[in-house]
Chains A and B, each alone.
Chain A
Amino acid sequence: MGRVSLVAIWGKKNKDIDPESREDRKKTGLIRGLWQKFRGIDWKNPVNRWKLLFVSLVGCIVVFGGGYGVLTMTNSPTFCASCHEMAPEYSTFTASAHNQISCVQCHIKPGFTNMITHKMKSMKEVYYHVTGVPEQIVQTEEEAVSNENCLQCHSKNRLVTASGDLKVNHKGHIEEDIPCITCHAGVVHAKMATRGINVEEVRGEWTKESAEKLMEKKYLRPNMGTCIDCHDKVNNGEKPWKDPAYNVPVNPEEVEKKLEENDKDATKETAKKETSEAETTEAVAAASNAKTQDIILQAIGKQKKDVKISMECETCHKQTEIPKTHKNVDWGNNHGGTAIQQLDKCMNCHQDSKWVREIPKEDIVSLLKMGNQKVKYTPNVSLAKEQARTNKFCSACHSDRPESHGDSDQWLTSHANKAKTKEMKAECFVCHDREKPKADTTNAKAPTDVYCQYCHRTGFKDDKK
């Protein structure tokens, strides 16, 4: 043993050793043998000392160089893209305006320690990659892109010029510590998690081309619903952005967890819960409807409230030119014809999605098939009628009893004259159904439960012609 060590730490020594001793060593095991060899080294020999120094130097170079190499590699977007579950994220990123920077510049907080911590945490991602990829990958609260990340490039010196006719007081928002992502959440990935288009079964649909189709401007830009929602909450004395959950998409796994917990509780008193749950969901929907309508009314200035941030259009828009037609005195009672003719134009401003923060789930396959093409609107009474009933803006008034109807005892006997011709009846049908609505109908629900056949059981006089 000693002889071997004296010859060299490594080198030709094996040639000198007879096959027997070689076998011996093999039996002792590789690591053990090496360790024994190491212990046997004569450290008083300066050659061995120099060797040790040399080896440790080379070791250092390998460790540091290799470490640097590994860090650089794992920091590059192509490394992120090497897992198929990142395909939606990666392809949107390449199609975005931020495609010249790397994933980690936003998704890891600046600083070396943060980077190393993130690498360690990401080990579990590797584990998931092997054992089973999550159904949908969603930014979590602690991984939310922080202002620090944005400010690495975006200088506060820049005077922001919002596009179009918008006025956005960025300074005011920054002073309130509103995180950038509260508004600019869609800037790179076009809110695909909220739209539900990055789930497992459609990951294969994501390519460079499809990403360009799916990066719609309305998702890249801050959505007006968020402005509305946040301004309203501020008016009610809340600061929603303080809650990190407000700034990131809803995490489906956490929702599931909560549901499971609820289920456990529910098993104890199932029967009671089921009915009440259905009721609560309905009540919640009704409440949110009422809230949206309230906000819309504030915006068009019909309900003046003493508030911190006015909800009027002019607060944020330089030119909210209210169309000339709207200024006619009787516009409130006489807009139906225009609505049928140019419903698409109405919807430019009056669509619900502008006023609601939530983004509906989308189907990627149909999105890709349809593309961004616009369907030309052809005047359609039933579409207009549906809007009058379902659209929150329209139904804000349409659900009220019209002034013309007066007291019901009077109106009941005198409405015949107002419903003589077909055209006149069409006006009634905007709010009233003719027949009793069927329980399983897909038609929009009428704002009133009064329908014609409730009294006119045998139909109208002019029916039989």
Chain B
Amino acid sequence: MEEEHMNKTSPPRTRYKVYKYLTVALLFIVVFFSLGLIGVETTSSSSFCSSCHEMKPEYYTWKASTHSEVDCVKCHIGSGTEEYAKAKANGLMQVYKKATQTYTAPIRMPKEIPDSACESCHDVSKREVTASGDIIIPHDKHQNKDIECIQCHNGVAHGKIADRKMTFQTDYEKWDTKTGTSAMADLKFTRPDMDTCIDCHKARKVTIECSACHKTGMVPKSHKAEDFKTKTHGKQAAENLMKCNQCHSDMSKEPLKGYEDVSVIDRFLNNNQVKQKNHYNYAKENTFCKDCHSKRPASHNRNFFDSHGATANKNQESCQACHEVKRSNETGGNQVTCSSCHPSKHSQKTSWKVNHPISLEGVSKPSAKCYTCHAKVSCEKCHK
């Protein structure tokens, strides 16, 4: 029995080692995984993100945003282990770049927030969205056209601070809760802006009627006056063209330029003498105005050719709502200009030929080509 006992105790030498290593290995595995888990958890917390001062603007705007209860990673890391691993590796790269001072500030989002991130909380199919004010916004229609949430709602968490150039390195230290709150205070940065709507609707050839998106229709009171179309709108435009432009700029089929406020820089560079375009230009450039203005008015009846002088003498400018004085490159569709019949002096002595918009080399006499712009009747009064 004793002998047997001794025999039996000899193998434990190897078993001893096996159990020792097994235990130690298991311990390491446990420690490794728990440390890993703790590491992943801490680096996924929003306070960890804000521990780098580069993230201060993003952190404080987020804290003041409507999404303050949602962690950074919930939106900025896609779902799935792969995405998660990628994000962590990316984070390590950023730490390295930061340490070697090779990170190019300001910080920009590497890629846009996918809809799946939003949809992990917001189920648009179940919630009827109640846009504020008089806005009509069928979310389902937009979703069916594969328009991503972020295309409209890009300011919701950070108020477009990167676009507003508020994330420069030199300003990091200026950020705190107060700055964050004030950066997010203006609704125009957190709400979808109308320019985005209009641009997208135009590009996709969807209606841009006011009443398509605004319940109130947006028609101002002044427009409802009976004589607004026929008489008063020009005078009102002369007074406050900027206000007209606010809504009507979007109604032009061609882009309008030069009707916004002149920038401070332009004003300075041009010695405060920037020539602003006026409402006459507007009537000829905005296709919305042009659609009516290009029709022959009732006043221009059969006798008008003979009698228009008297009308023009009263207020020559008003002709310019439709007619140009002289043909130029900017002239729109209306071929009839004052100079078609009332040419400037063009005796041989003056060098008018040099300034003529179309080259007149070798032309000594009015020809058929001239009459594409000029009125034959009045030319022939002298050129017989």
Contact = CB atoms under 8 A, between A and B. Distances in A.
A6 B7 CA distance: 12
B163 interface: no
Contacts of A99: 123, 126
B69 interface: yes
B45 interface: no
Interface string B129-150: 0111100000000000000000
A174 interface: no
Interface in B1-49: 5, 8-9, 12, 15-16, 19-20, 22-23, 26-27, 30
B5 A61 contact: no
B120 interface: yes
B20 A50 contact: yes
B66 A155 contact: yes
Interface string A429-463: 00000000000000000000000000000000000
B26 A45 contact: no
A46 B126 CA distance: 64
Contact of B69 (A50, A54, A96, A153): A153
Q: Which of A50, A61, A101, A161 is packed against the most chain B CB atoms within 10 Å? A: A50
B8 A7 contact: yes
A9 B248 CA distance: 89
Interface in A66-114: 95-97, 99-101
B132 A101 contact: no
A157 interface: yes
A47 B184 CA distance: 65
Nearest to A101: B121
Contacts of A97: 123, 126-127
A123 interface: no
Contacts of B26: 54, 57-58
A155 B122 contact: no
A371 to B, nearest CB: 19
B67 interface: yes
Interface in A48-64: 50-51, 53-54, 57-58, 60-61
A456 to B, nearest CB: 56
A3 B19 contact: no
A47 B11 CA distance: 11
Interface residues of A, number: 33
A97 B22 CA distance: 51
A6 B5 contact: yes
B15 A154 contact: no
B12 A45 contact: yes
A100 B12 contact: no
A54 B23 contact: yes
A162 B128 CA distance: 12
A53 B23 contact: yes
B121 A61 contact: no
Contacts of A54: 19, 22-23, 26
Contacts of B68: 155, 157
Contact of A158 (B15, B66, B121, B127): B66
B122 to A, nearest CB: 7
Contacts of A155: 65-69
A335 B375 CA distance: 72
A130 interface: no
Contacts of A164: 130
A7 B11 CA distance: 10
A404 interface: no
Contacts of B8: 3, 6-7
Contacts of B122: 100
A50 B133 CA distance: 72
A155 B121 CA distance: 14
A154 B187 CA distance: 18
Interface string A126-159: 0000000000000000000000000111110111
B5 A100 contact: no
A151 B184 CA distance: 20
B330 interface: no
A378 interface: no
B69 A3 contact: no
Given A95-B126, A100-B120, A100-B121, A157 B65 contact: yes
B70 interface: yes
Nearest to A155: B68
Interface string B47-84: 00000000000000000111111100000000000000
Interface string A1-36: 001001100000000000000000000000000000
B119 interface: yes
A375 B23 CA distance: 76
Contact of A47 (B15, B70, B126, B187): B15
Contacts of A154: 69
A123 B20 CA distance: 42
11 contacts: A3-B5, A7-B8, A46-B16, A50-B23, A51-B19, A54-B26, A97-B123, A154-B69, A155-B67, A157-B65, A158-B66
> Lowest 3 A-B CB distances belong to which pairs?
A163-B130, A97-B127, A161-B132
Given A6-B8, A57-B26, A161-B132, 12 more contacts: A6-B5, A45-B12, A50-B20, A51-B19, A60-B30, A96-B126, A100-B123, A151-B69, A154-B69, A155-B66, A155-B67, A162-B130
Interface of B: 5, 8-9, 12, 15-16, 19-20, 22-23, 26-27, 30, 64-70, 119-123, 126-128, 130-133, 184, 187
